[in-house]
Structure 1
Amino acid sequence: MARPPRRSGRAGAASRPYRGPSVNTNTALGAATAGTAAPVTGSRIVALGHYQPSRVLTNDELSRMVDTSDEWIRERVGVVTRRIADTETVADMATAAAGKALANAGLTADDIDLVVVATCSSVDRSPNVACRVAARLGINAPGAYDINTACSGFSYALGTVDHAIRAGAARNALVIGAEKLSDFTDWTDRSTCIIFGDGAGAAVVTATTGDEPAGIGPVVWGSVPEKGEAVRIEGWRPYIQQEGQAVFRWATTSLAPLARLACERAGVDPSELAAFVPHQANTRIIDGIAKRLGVPQAVIAKDIVESGNTSAASIPLALSKLVERREVPSGAPVLLFGFGGGLTYAGQVIRCP
């Protein structure tokens, strides 16, 4: 049976001669050493970037691989196309998205002191993706770590970076969601192969100081570990397995109050939101949460239509496209809300860059 090729080449960052330990002067320690420490009031997203593989996989192509149809996929999931990485790795896509975000922010690698990557699909245990991104972009001595909370990963990463900046551990950070789910997709299983895609999105997050308002609200996060078996990738290079109806019931009945709590903690009423960017699970879940949340005035991100479910990449990918198309005014409140494997959830209100 035909299937998209799955290649998992390894990232090959060029080695550099060792010059001894480095201190990044953008961090609290480095700034204090340099005598340039400034009071930090919070953080904000200043720019975004995204990357998607060039290969487009349509519903019609999938219908020739498994027993399904374009009409059925659109009705049940909402996906029309998805991108598939033939040769790119998670690190490749993360680096490309991060490079675009840096360029859009008008910053260079020398300005970054923290890199955090949310992913559940890197095939390598070490080095982590964040270190590979830092090496390829030429970022000197950053904090660098990966987070694996599946589809809620970007909001988890954004929350931890906001906390790090507020604590003085960083001033300028890259927060990236990147996935190559095609490496873990069973292309003979019509219940899952129709859903997932590959891609990456990245945000540049910087400290706010003085009278400058913070642009990232308090994170609301948590888990329902007793339901963890509903979405799983177990063992070495296995396939994604999920209990779709269980996830659907949980998402549509339990998450709207938590999303509303994120608004409450940010001091924003849902009726004031300019946009709602949830994890792109499927259009029925997105519509169900939005209806219960009560945001008829907001732009509802539905990048799943053209990108599929890209797990931790879905929120930054969708947000980056909204900003690129200027669908949301700069400074307007936007609710991000991720949910998925674990089961986990996380969300926060941001101000659109």
Structure 2
Amino acid sequence: MTGSRIVALGHYQPSRVVTNDELAELVDTNDAWIRDRVGIVTRRIADTETVSDMAAAAAEKALANAGLTADDIDLVVVATCTAIDRSPNVACRVAARLGIVAPGAYDINTACSGFSYALGTVDHAVRAGAARNAIVIGAEKLSDVTNWTDRSTCIIFGDGAGAAVVSATGDNEPSGIGPVVWGSAPERGDAVRIEGWRPYIEQEGQSVFRWATTALAPLALQACERAGVDPGDIAAFVPHQANARIIDGIAKRLGMPNAIVAKDIVESGNTSAASVPLALSKLVERREIPSGAPVLLFGFGGGLTYAGQVIRCP
């Protein structure tokens, strides 16, 4: 069995920026209240772009950054909870758009933890010899399921995509993706919902906040333990960008004094499965994390589900 590593990243966001002041024209809210409650200043909203469009754009950038071509890819996995069409899946549409021939292609839906779930399954596939080079994507168009008259949810969500190229490691090269820690609390699944044929996203914000800030830090530390990395050596912590207060609460409990904490929530809002790869790609693009440094990824949300792993920065 071989290991796997992330060799490159890419991301895509729509050009339309929606400010808090613009939302204040739709619902009873204001910029100061939104910043204080969730830490968001702006979010990107797609107009004509689909989930597949954004996923393909992020994947194309990651592929270019990896120095690989479509012919090198044999597996495409997309994490999303907002794809409108049931078939063909987003992964197949991305493969067609990029000209990838005959890859394994599937979508995965664990909502906001989706990217870490997808990355875990791809790591397993590479270790088992079922794939050599893969593209893992988190992509969401949450504006399609947002009720723009509900001030408790419309202030939170945004659209976008992030992607990673994952390749097998060499014979003498250590794995760059640590064991995944994943699980769920299905008895609390109603806390975040996108239900029905023409759904709106709904959530029990206080319930999710309490769960996230009390239950998740020990699970994130398990990912460090399984990877054999001391929390004090983590160079960056990239959690799901749910809410700035949740991010701060988890980070405080982790005891990672040297870690950069991703806060893409400020400019991008909550982009569900896209949030972890989107935030990670930006940190790497800005060269804020040294190549090879250990980074803790941790997603959590609808289901309620969670997943995380330690990766080595490409």
Common topology (TM > 0.5): yes
2:266 is the counterpart of 1:272: no
Q: Which residue of 1 aligns with 2:44?
A: 83
Following the alignment from structure 1 to structure 2, what is the Cα–Cα distance between the partners of residues 256 and 146?
27
SS of the aligned residue for 1:268 comes to coil
Equivalent residues in 2 for 1:99-178, closer than 5 Å: 99-178=60-139
SS of the aligned residue for 2:53 comes to helix
Which among 274, 278, 283 is matched to residue 317 of structure 1? 278
Following superposition, the deviation at residue 243 of structure 1 comes to: 0.1
Aligned residue pairs total: 314
Following superposition, the deviation at residue 172 of structure 1 comes to: 0.1
The code of the aligned residue for 2:2 comes to T
Which among 237, 240, 264 is matched to residue 198 of structure 2? 237
Which deviations, in whole Å up to 9, do the C-alpha atoms of 1:125-167 show, x marking residues without a partner?
A: 1000000000010001000000000000000000000000000
- Is the Cα–Cα contact under 8 Å of residues 123 and 237 in structure 1 kept in the other structure? no
2:310 is the counterpart of 1:349: yes
Q: Which residue of 2 aligns with 1:287?
A: 248
Q: CA RMSD in A?
A: 0.5
2:213 is the counterpart of 1:252: yes
Following superposition, the deviation at residue 213 of structure 1 comes to: 1.0
The code of the aligned residue for 2:118 comes to A
Following superposition, the deviation at residue 207 of structure 1 comes to: 0.2
- Is the Cα–Cα contact under 8 Å of residues 119 and 179 in structure 1 kept in the other structure? yes
The code of the aligned residue for 2:146 comes to T
SS of the aligned residue for 1:178 comes to strand
- Is the Cα–Cα contact under 8 Å of residues 224 and 296 in structure 2 kept in the other structure? yes
The code of the aligned residue for 2:294 comes to P
- Kindly, what percent of the aligned residue pairs are identical? 86
Is there any run of 5+ residues in structure 1 with no aligned partner, and where? 1-39
Which among 12, 16, 19 is matched to residue 58 of structure 1? 19
Following superposition, the deviation at residue 296 of structure 1 comes to: 2.3
**TM-score in terms of structure 2 length:** 1.00
The code of the aligned residue for 2:160 comes to G
Which among 92, 99, 115 is matched to residue 53 of structure 2? 92
Following the alignment from structure 2 to structure 1, what is the Cα–Cα distance between the partners of residues 280 and 239?
10
Q: Which residue of 1 aligns with 2:268?
A: 307
Following the alignment from structure 2 to structure 1, what is the Cα–Cα distance between the partners of residues 164 and 282?
12
Following superposition, the deviation at residue 236 of structure 1 comes to: 1.1
Larger Rg: 1
The code of the aligned residue for 2:216 comes to L
Following the alignment from structure 2 to structure 1, what is the Cα–Cα distance between the partners of residues 79 and 165?
14
Is there any run of 5+ residues in structure 2 with no aligned partner, and where? none
Which among 65, 71, 77 is matched to residue 32 of structure 2? 71
Q: Which residue of 2 aligns with 1:204?
A: 165
Moved over 2 A (4+): none
Following superposition, the deviation at residue 41 of structure 1 comes to: 2.0
- Is the Cα–Cα contact under 8 Å of residues 292 and 313 in structure 2 kept in the other structure? yes
2:180 is the counterpart of 1:219: yes
**TM-score in terms of structure 1 length:** 0.89
Following superposition, the deviation at residue 100 of structure 1 comes to: 0.2
- Is the Cα–Cα contact under 8 Å of residues 2 and 128 in structure 2 kept in the other structure? no
SS of the aligned residue for 1:265 comes to helix
- Is the Cα–Cα contact under 8 Å of residues 151 and 312 in structure 1 kept in the other structure? yes
2:282 is the counterpart of 1:327: no
The code of the aligned residue for 2:166 comes to V
The code of the aligned residue for 2:171 comes to G
